Amino acid sequence: MAAPDITSTPFALDEATIASYRVNGFVHVPNVLTGEEVARFRAAAERVHATKQVLSDAPVFNQIFQVWKDDADLRELTLNADLASIATQLAGVPVRLWHDHMLVKAPHNGAATEFHQDAPYWPHRDATRSLSCWVALTDVPVERGCMTFLPGLHERRDIRPIDLNDAKDLFSAAPDLQWRPWVTIPLRAGDVTFHSAWTPHRANPNDTDEHRWAHVNIYVDRDVVYNGGPHPATDHLGLADGDALPDDEFPPLPR
Ligand SMILES: O=C(O)CCC(=O)C(=O)O
C-alpha cells in the first residue's frame, strides 16, 4: 500500500505547530471547522446523543461510540481529510482510524475526567505514534470541561491503565509526574487539540448550564496489529493475536 504524501495537505500546518507537538505531545489548532460546520456537526451530535445507546453514562461523561458508522454528518467529521492529514503530519507516520467517540459532559456533571494516558487501554502491538483529535463542538472554557495536558511525556511508555474516575491514580502509578506543570487549553467551537496516546491528560468537570460537546477521532499507526486484548472496537470481530486491523472497520486515512 502506498504511503500518503504527508508533505502536501489541504490544511496548511506550519512547521512550528509540528515542532511544538513533537516537543510537548499535544497541540492546539484553532479554527479548523467553520461556523457552519460547527452548527451542522453539533446538531448531529445532539440528535445522536438523544437516540443512540451510550457506551458509558458514568458522571464523568456520556460516551457514544463509533458514531461514524450510523450518522452521515458525523461520518464526515470522523473521516474528515483535513483532520486526518493534520494527524498524519503530527504523527510523522501513516495512520488509520481506531475509533471515534462523542464525549458529552452534562451540565453540572460534577466529575472531572482524571489524568490518564490512552494507549494503555488499547489492544495494539507496535503502536508508536497513535494520537487523538479532540474537536470542540461548542465553546469549551475552563469551567465547561476543557482539556489539560502534562507536556513532554509522550515517550513515557511504562504506565499501567489508570482509573479515570480517580484523581490520584496516575500519581500513584507514576509518582514523579506529580510535580510536572499542567497546561490547560480553553477552546472555541471549531478549535481542536491533538494529543499523543501517551500524553497524560484530564478534562475539568462541566460547571456550566450547557452541555460540553466533544467529538474525538482516534488515529493509530497504520501498521499496528491486534494484541488479543479486550476492547469494544474489536471484541465482535473475531481477530486473533497478531492480526492486522481490517481496513473496513479501521479505515486508512486520509483517503
Ligand atoms: O473529554 C474528556 O472528558 C476526556 C477526553 C479524553 O480523555 C481523550 O480524548 O482521550
Q: Please name every residue paired with 212 in a beta bridge, in sequence order, or none if there are none.
A: 105
> Is the distance from the beta carbon of residue 64 to the nearest atom of ligand 1 less than 6 Å?
no
> Is the distance from the beta carbon of residue 196 to the nearest atom of ligand 1 less than 6 Å?
no
Q: Whose CA is nearest to atom 10 of ligand 1?
A: 118
Length of the chain: 255
> Is the distance from the beta carbon of residue 114 to the nearest atom of ligand 1 less than 6 Å?
no
Predicted confidence (pLDDT) at residue 57 exceeds the cutoff of 90: no
Closest ligand 1 atom, CA of 105? 3
> Is the distance from the beta carbon of residue 115 to the nearest atom of ligand 1 less than 6 Å?
no
Model confidence band, residue 2 (pLDDT cutoffs 50, 70, 90): very low
Q: 179: CA distance to ligand 1 center in Å?
A: 22
Instruction: State the pLDDT at residue 9.
Output: 45
Q: 17: CA distance to ligand 1 center in Å?
A: 21
Taking residue 170's Cβ as centre, other Cβ atoms within 10 Å add up to 24
Predicted confidence (pLDDT) at residue 7 exceeds the cutoff of 60: no
The residues, any chain, with a CB within 8 Å of residue 50's CB and separated by 6 or more, are: none
Let me know: does 92 contact 219? Beta carbons within 8 Å: no
- The secondary structure element, H or E, covering residue 81 is helix 81-91
Closest ligand 1 atom, CA of 216? 9
> Is the distance from the beta carbon of residue 214 to the nearest atom of ligand 1 less than 6 Å?
yes
User: Contacts by 20-23 with C-beta closer than 8 Å and gap 24+?
Assistant: 21/90, 21/194, 21/196, 22/90, 22/92, 23/151, 23/152
> Is the distance from the beta carbon of residue 113 to the nearest atom of ligand 1 less than 6 Å?
yes
Instruction: State the pLDDT at residue 20.
Output: 98
Query: Which amino acid is it at 145?
Result: G
pTM of the model: 0.94
Model confidence band, residue 250 (pLDDT cutoffs 50, 70, 90): very high
Burial 215-226 (b: 16+ CB within 10 A, else e): bbbbbbbbebbb
Instruction: State the pLDDT at residue 4.
Output: 38
Strand, coil or helix: 50: helix
Determine what percent of the chain is predicted with pLDDT higher than 70. 96
Model confidence band, residue 5 (pLDDT cutoffs 50, 70, 90): very low
Please write the tens of the pLDDT for every residue from 78-97: 999 999 999 999 999 999 99
206 phi and psi angles, rounded to 5 deg: -95, 105
Q: What is the mean pLDDT of the chain?
A: 94
Q: Rg of the chain over CA atoms, in angstroms?
A: 17
The residues, any chain, with a CB within 8 Å of residue 107's CB and separated by 6 or more, are: 206, 208, 209, 210, 211
Please write the tens of the pLDDT for every residue from 20-48: 999 999 999 999 999 999 999 999 999 99
Q: 188: CA distance to ligand 1 center in Å?
A: 16
Average pLDDT over residues 169-190: 98
Instruction: State the pLDDT at residue 58.
Output: 78
Model confidence band, residue 10 (pLDDT cutoffs 50, 70, 90): low
- Which grid cell sits at 199? 500524553
Average pLDDT over residues 213-241: 98
Average pLDDT over residues 127-134: 98
Instruction: State the pLDDT at residue 103.
Output: 97
Determine what percent of the chain is predicted with pLDDT higher than 90. 90
Nearest Cα residue to 105 out of 132, 74, 143: 143
ω into 161 cis (within 30 of 0): no
Please identify which residue in the block is written with the cell numbers 470481530. Answer: 237
Average pLDDT over residues 65-76: 96
CA atoms within 13 A on the CB side of 170: 24
